[in-house]
Amino acid sequence: MHTVHVPPDFNAWRELARTALHDGFRPDEITFCDSTEPRSLSLLPEAASPGGPPHVKPHVSTAFLEAANFAATHRDPQRWNLLYRLLWRLQENRNLLRIEVDDDVAALLRLRSQVARDLHKMHAFVRFRKLEIDGDEHFIAWYEPAHRIVRLAAPFFAERFSVMHWTILTPDESVSWDPHTKQLTFGPGADRTQAPEQDELETLWKCYYASIFNPARINPSAMRSEMPMRYWQNLPEVEILPQLMRGAEQRVATMVRRQQSKPTAAPYVPELHTLTVLREALPSCKGCELYEHATQVVPGVGAAHAKLMLVGEQPGDKEDLEGAPFVGPAGSLLRGVMEELGIAPESVYMTNAVKHFKFVQRGKLRLHQNPRLQEINACRPWLAAELDAVKPQVILCLGASAAKSLLGSTFALMKDRGSVQESAFGKQIIATLHPSAVLRARDDASREQMRGLLKRDLQFASELASGKHR
Amino acid sequence: MQQLTVQQKLEILADAAKYDASCASSGAKRANNGKGVGHTDGTGICHSYTPDGRCVSLLKILLTNFCTYDCVFCVNRVSSDIQRARFTPEEVVNLTLDFYKRNYIEGLFLSSGIIQSPDYTMEQLIQVAKLLRTVHHFGGYIHLKTIPGADERLVAQAGKWADRLSANIELPTQQDLVQLAPEKKSTIIEGTMGQILAHSDEAKEASIRSHLPRHMLPKFAPAGQSTQMVVGATATTDREIIQRAGALYGNYKLRRIYYTGFSPYPEADARLPLKAAPLMREHRLYQADWLMRYYGFAPDEITSEANPELSLEEDPKTSWAKAHPEFFPVDVNVAPRESLLRVPGIGYRNVERILNIRRYHRLSIEDLRKLNVRVKHVAAWITAADHLPTSPLVSASPLPSPTAQLDLFAAASALSGAL
């Protein structure tokens, strides 16, 4: 057996392989030993003479060169023999490399793809740390690739960081880039202590890493398969991984608890949506805190299958005491307008977006307070059930709270007042002023104007409900 | 109000961006320009992975999480009681460059809550990209989220600086939007998609006619456009989602659709589910998506009217194969590419390899094993040099109408003594 020692470098092997082919050594007559591997203790190297035909002008395809160049950086000590065997067989069969199921070809492709993956991971996982040297920025990284790929990897960093002065240190080899001369310089291997220990930006980077993942979708096996643990010691962000993993479950539980604890009337609303059933169930509602202070709940009134439904904001002082909607000052203004238009109160259904009175006590006075968005949302299941029971053609929202309940919290009342809107709650929803806004107008002129708008919208809604605007 | 530090803003505005699934940085090739850092080589690199298994390839943040919209499924909606923050364009530029120089990221993915107006918001996003490209000569990847309804002039500008643009379709159907995102209309979103496509087509046409050298050609979002939809927040079926996706790919030549399974978030609306959509549903939708983009399946074929949901237990290709026994077995040594692509367990890459190898060598089951095909899985569907399918599944298919061939088989079974 003829033995040849090969330095770990593709070009060195290439020269030796060329000679061996020229001499006619069959693959089973020659052994290529990687010079970085411990040598065998055989004291008497056997001399052997070649038994095959000499290949003076060997055929070498670019596909083979490309794959072999990658495979040569692999740490598998048998790679040189594999490459020579393939090279020998290629002389007989020029299509050999296309037959991926051939054992030698498969082995070559496996080496190549392992190197390609290692190369890809190096491009991804090198982490530069910045140093100031004589007022100049110098970026230095420590990295341990699985294979001897520094020379394959360097051009990527040279292009990407062409304006930076950078160095990558690995156990086998180091490489530096000078942005002025645009030159790569390769040097000997190094150890971890020669690289900076940290970078000022790492805190910020860890903070980003901690914030960008979704604790509700934790999937550590997917993470590990793409980021094998052998690379972890080089990645600053991985230091906080244990605490992130531990905290994830807790964070999700807290979120769910908070969402569950949001006030909602949903559990109190019966499944059967008829007005009688709803009216009986309403007094038991503890969907939000408003029930604690109000005298009583105020259900809607009117025709069970009215074509027009009026939705106000919430009961006022008088409504709270009487238990009926629209019986206070604002209600009587509304009823006045309806009378002028010839709309009988019994022909429509009137209710409120929020069913309990909200107020602050000032001495003997109970001052009305606007319901918060959260309370409107909490009470919405009642309104939705009423809508389902009555099935009106048209819904007229009186005031912003009612409009927000049915059209979304950003609905701009004065911008889209009086026009037909659509939402999940109804195909024809119109919003107008609340009668109490008319009462609160700053002077007579604007009061008249506002009353006019309310009347016009009410008339339009009523006509639309009775089919006049088709 | 107390001023927030950059770190505090980063925490808030990265946290708010984490529900956006898209993070890929592939599809663009941009050589380094010699004046600033950055290049992209077309394939994209994942620089890290987070515990939810997603890759970190870009600095993915919002410019601000203030938003005037009230989309129920979104953590940043106006009625959400969360902490708000806003980056200045310079802060985003510096973070991007600083992270890039350490090789933490491939570039920037910038989105934003909608403030003041769609146009104003869009202008702010463009400002960041323009600063990066013109002042710092940044050659890395930039993905801008376009704001639906923004002026066409702004869409044109965004495409000049960005590698990829996207307009989020948000939810699969218009009905879902009405329910959960009252301010968003699919016509407006698709209008923006149409504008992106039109500008991209114009740029391509101009570059064909132009005699300028390659690097000087006008570019418009060279990595194309993508979109994202949230799934599992409404009752919409997989069939509707897949058909919607098929239409979007067809109409706007999207590079990708990202599916984000709905997951609970802080201060969520009570109308939303409390649990995350199963990770598997998202996975199955991506498989279905690949069947459409790479395997020649029509959206219609992947589910049926009777079974509108993808199975969580088995992949959609296997489900299709089981419903179409008449299509099998497929002979790996002679079948055309389109047929091989339909065999469950044989992927896109392996179809290419099989086509390559069989010109020189007849493939056996052992050969398939060498290609890392899960032989147990595919054996029922294929014929190979040394293999006929024996699966009860294929033989259980309805018998063909009687022909001369059937007689042949009858004779053979009489010889072997089998029935």
Among chain A residues, the shortest Cα distance to B51 is held by: A220
Among chain B residues, the shortest Cα distance to A121 is held by: B47
Say how far apart CA A84 and CA A20 lie, in whole Å: 9
Nearest to B51 among A129, A218, A259 (CB): A218
pLDDT at B74: 84
Mutate to test the interface with B, among A99, A156, A160 (most CBs of B within 10 A): A160
Say how far apart CA A130 and CA B380 lie, in whole Å: 58
| Cβ contact, residue pair B37, A164, below 8 Å | yes
Predicted confidence (pLDDT) at residue B114 exceeds the cutoff of 70: yes
Across the range A222-231, mean pLDDT stands at: 90
| Cβ contact, residue pair B10, A211, below 8 Å | yes
| Cβ contact, residue pair B52, A214, below 8 Å | yes
Nearest to A126 among B15, B103, B266 (CB): B103
What does pLDDT average to over chain A? 90
Across the range B200-204, mean pLDDT stands at: 91
| Cβ contact, residue pair B38, A160, below 8 Å | yes
| Cβ contact, residue pair A164, B276, below 8 Å | no
Q: What is the pLDDT of residues A25-47, one digit of tens each?
A: 999 999 999 888 777 655 555 66
Say how far apart CA A212 and CA B61 lie, in whole Å: 9
Q: Quick check: B152 contacting A, CB < 8 Å?
A: no
- Lowest-confidence pick of A280-284, A436-440, B72-76: B72-76
Say how far apart CA B266 and CA A252 lie, in whole Å: 9
| Cβ contact, residue pair B55, A226, below 8 Å | yes
Mapped onto helix, strand or coil, the DSSP state of residue A198 is coil
List of chain A residues whose C-beta atoms are within 8 Å of the C-beta of residue B360: 95, 98-99
Say how far apart CA A107 and CA A85 lie, in whole Å: 11
Tell me the nearest-neighbour CA distance from A247 into chain B, angstroms.
11
Among chain A residues, the shortest Cα distance to B370 is held by: A101
Across the range B33-38, mean pLDDT stands at: 90
Across the range A408-436, mean pLDDT stands at: 86
List of chain B residues whose C-beta atoms are within 8 Å of the C-beta of residue A156: 41
| Cβ contact, residue pair B182, A407, below 8 Å | yes
Across the range B182-195, mean pLDDT stands at: 90
Tell which B residues from 1 to 60 touch A, by Cβ distance under 8 Å. 6-7, 10-12, 14-15, 17-19, 31-32, 34-39, 41, 45-56, 59-60
Say what percent of chain A tops pLDDT 70: 97
Predicted confidence (pLDDT) at residue A259 exceeds the cutoff of 70: no
Predicted confidence (pLDDT) at residue A108 exceeds the cutoff of 90: yes
- Lowest-confidence pick of A102-106, A156-160, A297-301, B31-35: B31-35
pLDDT at B395: 44
pLDDT at B107: 96
Q: Per the structure block, which two tokens stand in for B20?
A: 């956006």
List of chain A residues whose C-beta atoms are within 8 Å of the C-beta of residue B46: 124, 226
Predicted confidence (pLDDT) at residue A118 exceeds the cutoff of 60: yes
- Lowest-confidence pick of A249-253, A257-261, A390-394, B60-64: A257-261
B50 pLDDT band, cuts 50/70/90, is very high
Say what percent of chain B tops pLDDT 90: 64
A385 pLDDT band, cuts 50/70/90, is very high
Nearest to A372 by CA among A412, A313, A425: A313
pLDDT at B394: 47
Across the range A385-408, mean pLDDT stands at: 90
| Cβ contact, residue pair A422, B15, below 8 Å | no
B73 pLDDT band, cuts 50/70/90, is confident
Nearest to A128 among B35, B41, B103 (CB): B103
pTM for the full model? Answer: 0.77
- Sign of the Cα pseudo-torsion (A161, A166, A170, A174, in order): positive
Q: Which residues contact B215 (CB under 8 A, 6 or more apart)?
A: B31
pLDDT at A423: 83
Q: Quick check: B363 contacting A, CB < 8 Å?
A: yes
Tell me the nearest-neighbour CA distance from B354 into chain A, angstroms.
9
Higher pLDDT, B139 or B400: B139
Say how far apart CA A164 and CA A128 lie, in whole Å: 11
Q: What is the pLDDT of residues B365-375, one digit of tens each?
A: 999 999 999 99
List of chain B residues whose C-beta atoms are within 8 Å of the C-beta of residue A205: 99, 102, 104
Mapped onto helix, strand or coil, the DSSP state of residue A39 is coil
Q: What is the pLDDT of residues A78-88, one digit of tens each?
A: 999 999 999 99
Helical packing angle, A79-92 and A62-71, nearest 10°: 170
- Lowest-confidence pick of A67-71, A355-359, B122-126: A355-359
What does pLDDT average to over chain B? 87
pLDDT at B406: 36
Q: What is the pLDDT of residues B377-399, one digit of tens each?
A: 899 999 999 888 765 454 444 44
CA B404-B410-B413 angle, to 5 degrees, is 150
Produce one character per residue of B268-282: b if its CB has 16 or more CB atoms within 10 Å, e if not.
bbbbbeeebbebebb
List of chain B residues whose C-beta atoms are within 8 Å of the C-beta of residue A127: 102-104
Which amino acid makes up residue A412? A
Tell me the nearest-neighbour CA distance from B402 into chain A, angstroms.
40
Predicted confidence (pLDDT) at residue B106 exceeds the cutoff of 80: yes
List of chain A residues whose C-beta atoms are within 8 Å of the C-beta of residue B272: 259
Tell me the nearest-neighbour CA distance from A233 into chain B, angstroms.
13
CB pairs under 8 A between A and B: 192
Q: What is the pLDDT of residues A54-106, one digit of tens each?
A: 988 888 999 999 999 999 999 999 999 999 999 999 999 998 999 999 999 99
Q: Per the structure block, which two tokens stand in for A11?
A: 């070009």
List of chain A residues whose C-beta atoms are within 8 Å of the C-beta of residue B269: 377
List of chain B residues whose C-beta atoms are within 8 Å of the C-beta of residue A237: 48
pLDDT at B278: 81
| Cβ contact, residue pair B32, A159, below 8 Å | yes
Q: Quick check: B395 contacting A, CB < 8 Å?
A: no
List of chain B residues whose C-beta atoms are within 8 Å of the C-beta of residue A113: none
Say what percent of chain B tops pLDDT 70: 90
| Cβ contact, residue pair A130, B102, below 8 Å | yes
For residue A385, the 8-state DSSP code is H
| Cβ contact, residue pair B19, A216, below 8 Å | no
Q: Per the structure block, which two tokens stand in for A25?
A: 């050594």
Which amino acid makes up residue B77? R
Contact A404, A411 (CB under 8 A): yes
Which long-range contacts link A72-78 to residues 24+ away (Cβ below 8 Å)? A72/A8, A72/A9, A72/A10, A72/A13, A73/A8, A73/A10, A73/A115, A73/A147, A73/A148, A73/A149, A73/A151, A73/A152, A74/A111, A74/A114, A74/A115, A74/A147, A75/A146, A75/A147, A75/A148, A76/A111, A77/A33, A77/A34, A77/A37
Q: Quick check: B109 contacting A, CB < 8 Å?
A: no
Q: What is the pLDDT of residues A337-355, one digit of tens each?
A: 999 999 999 999 999 999 9
Higher pLDDT, B105 or A370: B105
| Cβ contact, residue pair A216, B276, below 8 Å | yes
Q: Quick check: B174 contacting A, CB < 8 Å?
A: no
Which of the given ranges, A182-186, A303-307, B221-225, has the highest pLDDT on average?
A182-186
Mutate to test the interface with B, among A128, A207, A211, A377 (most CBs of B within 10 A): A211
